[in-house]
Copies of this chain bind each other. A is one copy, B any other.
Amino acid sequence: MINIKSDKCISCEICNDRSPLFSLLTKDELSVMNAGRFEVHFEAGETIVKQGTSANHMMVLTQGIAKLFLEGIDKRNLILDLILPWKLFGGPGLFTDMRYHYSVVALQESTACFIAADNVRQVIRTNPDFAESILRHCNRNSAANFDRLISLTQKQMPGRLADTLLYLNAEIFHNKSFNLPITRLELGEMSNMTKESVTRILKEFESEAILKLEGKSVNILKLESLQEISLRG
């Protein structure tokens, strides 16, 4: 096998331990998922999946961190999510056009596990609990996209950037201070604004003592202010 990291991830058992989704599967179903499964290691900046290419796998990130984004017009990207270990991705397209509908690029050295889409589909058919979980996953993504649609179309820049910072706090780092794994440009690609605007508004937040900034390090001093700015729009 290629690029398998030593003793890690001998089988899907490890995902069974880590991802709630896999704990629903029987031994037999786990071995179906395991068949033809492979792991690949990526350097920072490498593409894990490319929007528009043929979607034959679902992926689980097992190490590192990646960005999931839509490739839009004139090379402009819209980052939808940061991916951390044990997060499943690659889904949309599985039951329709068999294409990936977004790209995923490693932000740091990462490892991703590739599971054959056919096997996922098979297990969905045999295990209603798993099917339900996939639907739940799908529904959650829909809801997140609805929120994003409102944020990006109806809020102005401070509100949009506040949403991005609140997302990083609540969904990614679970901590009011963190080191950004992304650039100002990428913060802009999450909030739909230019890197210059990101700089300006971060400064603004800092001058209002909402944030403490130092390069890539962010410390949220007044979470409530960010929430208020997010709500106000």
Contacts and interface: CB of A to CB of B under 8 A. Distances in A.
Nearest to A231: B73
Interface in A121-165: 121, 124-126, 128, 131-132, 134-136, 138-143, 145-146, 148-150, 152-155
Contacts of A126: 128
Given A145-B145, A149-B78, A233-B74, A135 B132 contact: no
A126 B93 CA distance: 23
A84 interface: no
Contacts of A138: 95, 135, 138-139, 142
A67 interface: no
A212 to B, nearest CB: 28
B154 A72 contact: yes
A114 interface: no
A136 B95 contact: yes
A92 interface: yes
Contacts of A145: 142, 145-146, 149
Contacts of A3: none
A101 B142 contact: yes
A6 B148 CA distance: 43
B131 A92 contact: no
A137 to B, nearest CB: 9
A136 to B, nearest CB: 4
A96 interface: yes
Which 9 residue pairs across A and B have the least CB separation, nearest first? A125-B128, A95-B136, A92-B142, A72-B150, A138-B138, A72-B154, A73-B233, A145-B145, A96-B139
Interface of A: 70, 72-74, 76, 78, 91-97, 101-102, 121, 124-126, 128, 131-132, 134-136, 138-143, 145-146, 148-150, 152-155, 192, 233
7 contacts: A78-B153, A92-B139, A92-B143, A93-B139, A95-B132, A125-B128, A141-B142
